[in-house]
Amino acid sequence: MQDVLAALGIKASNAGASTGTQWIAGGGKEISSFSPVDGKEIAKVTLANEEAYERVIKKAQEAFAEWRMYPSPKRGDIVRQVGEALRKYKEPLGKLVSYEMGKSLQEGYGEVQEMIDICDFAVGLSRQLHGLTMHSERPGHRMYEQWHPLGIVGIISAFNFPVAVWSWNTMLAWVCGDVCIWKPSEKTPLCAIACQNIISEVFQANNVPEGVCGLVIGEAAIGEKIANDPRIPLVSATGSTRMGKAVGAAVGARLGRSLLELGGNNAIIISKDADLDIAIVGCVFGAVGTAGQRCTTTRRLIIHESIYDAFRDKLVAAYKQLRIGDPLDQNNHVGPLIDKGAVEQYQKAIEKCKAEGGRFLVEGGVLDGAGYESGCYVKPAVAEAQPHFEIVQHETFAPILYLMKYNTLEEAIAIQNGVPQGLSSSIMTLNLREAESFLSSAGSDCGIANVNIGTSGAEIGGAFGGEKETGGGRESGSDAWRVYMRRQTNTINYSTQLPLAQGIKFDL
Ligand code: UN1
């Protein structure tokens, strides 16, 4: 790993704040980043204190004055170069993501690929920040709308996608003319430092104003500062529903804008008309990929009663094949949870499920011994449960899958929708009527609804996000860019008269 750290410019002790190309000694307490892979300390980071935060904000404000006047395609060209740099650093950055966060190497590379993809998307977008034109009701008048940058975008990201989610926000915000301040999870600070170093190379080569790419690594207090800071018109936050409610309330109280990506409780409906081979792969990857730590992780399977036993047996057999261990070893399917706190939550959820009457078909448990020294490796578990169990209504960020039965499609959809969260959902069926009913306005109430693929692994081209307690935000593709801009309606009079709208007469 030393060569990976060296390639990404990570030192034994790192500053926790940056204005783009310049690091600022954070001034706060020093923390260590430990790998959940082997429990070893990777490097240290000095967290940002209030003074460092202020410096980053000031620089961002100054930079915005210049950056907003760059032609958008010019900003797009800089983002294109960021995409090129990410291609160059894909291998070390993917490895660091895997080592610091604990996801499989393939998923680490996949995450960097999502960054590259969003750069490409943003480059095209930089020439397509379109507004509409309208016909004025008055003669000699023209109306149109244009989209202007907002200012500083605060990005609070989670440990589970330590680099991709930041890039979805940042690359769009940059082409839109905004400047960004990133508060990454303090569980994965080195991934953020690596990104900052990669960006810095591109920014230096292009003389981008210092302050366009700010970084403040800190604990929850820094997140609170961002949420409460009226100098930050948009706060994009990814994480738990509890965190999102606090951020949403603080930003709302100052009438700022927030983009929230919070918990999911994603289900797959397995119809009697499903292709069961496809369904098995979709369900198992969805449930155990990233060790169950995606917001799109499959947490519930709603299975038709006529195929329930057959599917359950196939699933249990598939779980027996899973290899748990070092995520950098590509023979393994499942890596560790992020830390021991997450392991505790996993254990509690299993206990709670049992107490509520759940029956485990694949038992969970924490692994120990050679290769599992970090104490963060757990066995993916499968339980038969009832939709109304409190634990089933709740998102546990771990590989625990709950199975339930249904009879009619209406019943399956009601179970699927009957949770507080609304991120991702899918149905496995070859029956057109069922598929279309699931996608209709009486179907899934989630932001993402799929047919014959699982709940996780969304492409960047679509708008990503969900309803209800998931927070309602949309980021990444489609027209998600609009939230990063302000709309201005312009009416221009090129006549020699001043007719008033609505035919109002006002003569002097
Ligand atoms: C998240 O877990 O916060 O759809 C994002 C997926 C990924 C993104 C997940 N593209 O699973």
Q: What is the pLDDT of residue 59?
A: 98
The pTM of the full predicted model, rounded to 2 decimals, is 0.97
Judge whether 261 counts as a catalytic residue: yes
Distance 37 CA to ligand 1 centre (A): 21
Q: What is the pLDDT of residue 219?
A: 92
CA-wise closest residue to 334 among 393, 413, 399:
399
Ligand 1 closest atom vs CA 114: 10
Q: Whose CA is nearest to atom 7 of ligand 1?
A: 457
426 CB under 6 A from ligand 1?
no
Tokens 């920014």 belong to 203
**Helix or strand holding residue 86 (H, E):** helix 72-88
Whether the CB-CB separation of 19 and 59 falls below 8 Å is answered with yes
Q: Say yes or no: ipTM exceeds 0.90.
A: yes
Selected catalytic residue, list 107, 114, 210, 261:
261
Indicate the DSSP class of residue 258. E
Distance 424 CA to ligand 1 centre (A): 10
pLDDT tens per residue across all 508 residues of the chain: 999 999 999 999 999 999 999 999 888 999 999 999 999 999 999 999 999 999 999 999 999 999 999 999 999 999 999 999 999 999 999 999 999 999 999 999 999 999 999 999 999 999 999 999 999 999 999 999 999 999 999 999 999 999 999 999 999 999 999 999 999 999 999 999 999 999 999 999 999 999 999 999 999 999 999 999 999 999 999 999 999 999 999 999 999 999 999 999 999 999 999 999 999 999 999 999 999 999 999 999 999 999 999 999 999 999 999 999 999 999 999 999 999 999 999 999 999 999 999 999 999 999 999 999 999 999 999 999 999 999 999 999 999 999 999 999 999 999 999 999 999 999 999 999 999 999 999 999 999 999 999 999 999 999 999 999 999 999 999 999 999 999 999 999 999 999 999 999 999 8
Distance 25 CA to ligand 1 centre (A): 32
For 16, phi then psi, to 5°, come to -105, 10
β-strand pairing of 234-238 with 257-261: parallel
Q: Whose CA is nearest to atom 3 of ligand 1?
A: 295
Distance 163 CA to ligand 1 centre (A): 11
Whether the CB-CB separation of 12 and 181 falls below 8 Å is answered with no
Which domains does the chain possess?
1-262+471-489 (3.40.605.10), 266-451 (3.40.309.10)
> Distance from first CA to last CA of the chain, Å, rounded?
79
